[in-house]
């Protein structure tokens, strides 16, 4: 288990390519990925501004 923990901010959780790359590194146990409920809400808000047809409940 990694000894490092990384706090992901909303700007790396959305857009998806950055999130996907960092999550791939996290699953290799390079570090533990963490984020707060506020950060989670923030990236969803950003996505919904750009793609209002999506449903918040599906993203959460």
Omega before 15 cis (within 30°)? yes
Q: ∠ CA(39), CA(44), CA(49), 5° rounding?
A: 125
Sequence ranges of the domains in the chain: 5-59
pLDDT at 14: 96
Alpha-carbon distances of 39 from 8, 22, 28, rounded to whole Å? 8, 16, 23
Residue 34 CA, distance from chain mean position: 9
Low-confidence stretches of the chain (pLDDT < 50) are none
pLDDT at 1: 82
What's this model's pTM, rounded to 2 decimal places?
0.86
Each residue of 3-19: pLDDT tens digit? 999 999 999 999 999 99
């Amino acid at each position: 288990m990694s000894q490092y923990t990384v706090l992901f901010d909303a700007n790396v959780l959305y857009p998806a390519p950055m999130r996907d790359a960092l999550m791939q590194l996290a699953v290799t146990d390079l570090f533990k990925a963490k984020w707060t409920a506020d950060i989670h809400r923030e990236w969803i808000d950003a996505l919904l501004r750009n793609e209002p047809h999506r449903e918040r409940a599906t993203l959460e």
